[in-house]
């Protein structure tokens, strides 16, 4: 006798949900989960001075607290998304929500810079389990006629979630304490988990080939090395040996990833799909949204460098409307 969940454990096109009310519930669940992930990308930016004082941390350390989340999210996005397609999207989504929620709570309770960085790293891993699965759930459960609209809503949440999260985080910092920044993602994750348990069906793809381990490793190396260059380049200098070496490693890994994916029978990312003008333009638009969001966050970052004598931290820019 099959349970309700097992009846919705579907493969390929059979995962389509035809009930409009349930589709709306699915869309709400994945958008709330996505909002938690995106809001955490920029939320901590508004509390940089408070965090630096709390942990007696240098600018570089504070920026690692912020950027380790984005780094782990970006580096593991493809491998964990592919894993969700294979083992089941609903369990991966729920596991990611659990890990993300616990890690966010730990970050709010952190008593050292090391604990904060570790918590943000785990939160990024949880986010990498959540974000690709939310989109995969939409593409597998929505019929062709409604799929584009649902993906448009998902994209809107992805683009606007960071800005909304930044302003809500600023309100929490102004009215309470920087530690309350992490209450927002915990609440969103709890709500998303309840909605996902009730509405999201479990679906997976039919795996005919082995998991793309080589593609996973090269993608992780490429993303990690290139983000490291962007993070440490302004600190150590763009022509510093470590910066140049990281750039070369990232570039070689990226080229190797593309070459491997073109030959693999079951690629982690089918790069040929970007030959489709509609997909390429949509990806470029989403990348632009994230780029603008990252640039607006960076414009509110301090510009002083850490010194050997102790932490160095500049006051926040007056150009940021959420700053006092």
Summarised one tens digit per residue, pLDDT across range 116-148 is 999 999 999 999 999 999 999 998 899 888 888
Burial label, 122 (beta-carbon count in 10 A; 0-12, 13-18, 19+): buried
At 7, is the pLDDT very low, low, confident or very high (cuts 50, 70, 90)? very low
Q: Is the pLDDT of residue 269 over 80?
A: no
pLDDT tens-digit map of 173-205: 888 888 888 988 999 999 999 999 999 998 877
Q: Is the pLDDT of residue 280 over 90?
A: no
According to the model, what pLDDT value does residue 126 have? 96
**What is the C-alpha separation between 185 and 81, in angstroms, rounded?**
21
**What is the C-alpha separation between 152 and 13, in angstroms, rounded?**
20
According to the model, what pLDDT value does residue 173 have? 83
Which of 32-46, 156-170, 189-203, 227-241 is most confident? 189-203
According to the model, what pLDDT value does residue 4 have? 38
For residues 320 and 290, the model is more confident at 290
For residues 265 and 307, the model is more confident at 265
Mean pLDDT of 45-68: 88
Q: Is the pLDDT of residue 57 over 60?
A: yes
Backbone angles phi, psi at 47, to 5 degrees: -115, 20
Mean pLDDT of 138-164: 86
**What is the C-alpha separation between 320 and 324, in angstroms, rounded?**
9
Asked if 239 and 65 touch (Cβ cutoff 8 Å), the reply is: no
Tokens of 37: 């992930």
Please tell me whether the overall predicted TM-score, pTM, comes out greater than 0.85 for this model.
no
Q: Is the pLDDT of residue 289 over 80?
A: no
According to the model, what pLDDT value does residue 277 have? 56
**What is the C-alpha separation between 36 and 49, in angstroms, rounded?**
23
Q: Is the pLDDT of residue 100 over 90?
A: yes
């Amino acid at each position: 006798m099959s349970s309700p969940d097992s009846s919705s454990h579907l493969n390929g096109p059979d995962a389509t949900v035809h009930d409009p009310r349930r589709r709306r519930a699915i869309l709400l669940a994945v958008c709330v989960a996505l909002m938690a992930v995106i809001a955490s990308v920029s939320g901590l930016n508004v509390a940089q001075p408070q965090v630096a004082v709390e942990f007696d941390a240098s600018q570089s350390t504070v920026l690692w607290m912020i950027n380790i989340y984005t780094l782990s999210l970006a580096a593991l996005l493809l491998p964990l998304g592919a894993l969700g397609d294979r083992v089941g999207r609903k369990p991966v989504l729920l596991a990611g929500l659990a890990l993300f929620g616990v890690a966010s709570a730990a970050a709010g309770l952190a008593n050292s810079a090391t604990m904060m960085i570790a918590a943000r790293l785990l939160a990024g891993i949880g986010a990498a389990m959540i974000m690709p699965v939310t989109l995969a759930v939409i593409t597998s459960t929505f019929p062709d006629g409604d799929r584009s609209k649902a993906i448009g809503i998902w994209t809107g949440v992805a683009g606007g979630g960071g800005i909304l999260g930044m302003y809500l985080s600023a309100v929490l910092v102004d009215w309470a304490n920087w530690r309350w920044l992490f209450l927002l993602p915990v609440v969103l994750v709890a709500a998303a988990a309840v909605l996902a348990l009730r509405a999201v069906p479990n679906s997976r793809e039919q795996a005919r080939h082995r998991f793309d381990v080589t593609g996973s490793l090269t993608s992780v190396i490429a993303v990690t090395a290139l983000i490291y260059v962007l993070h440490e380049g302004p600190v150590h200098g763009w022509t510093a040996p470590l910066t140049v070496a990281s750039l070369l490693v990232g570039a070689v890994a990226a080229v190797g990833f593309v070459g491997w994916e073109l030959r693999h029978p079951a690629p982690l990312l089918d790069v040929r799909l970007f030959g489709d003008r509609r997909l390429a333009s949509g990806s470029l638009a989403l990348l632009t949204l994230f780029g603008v969001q990252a640039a607006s966050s960076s414009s509110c970052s301090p510009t002083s460098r850490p010194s050997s004598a102790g932490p160095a931290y500049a006051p926040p820019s007056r150009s940021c409307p959420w700053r006092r």
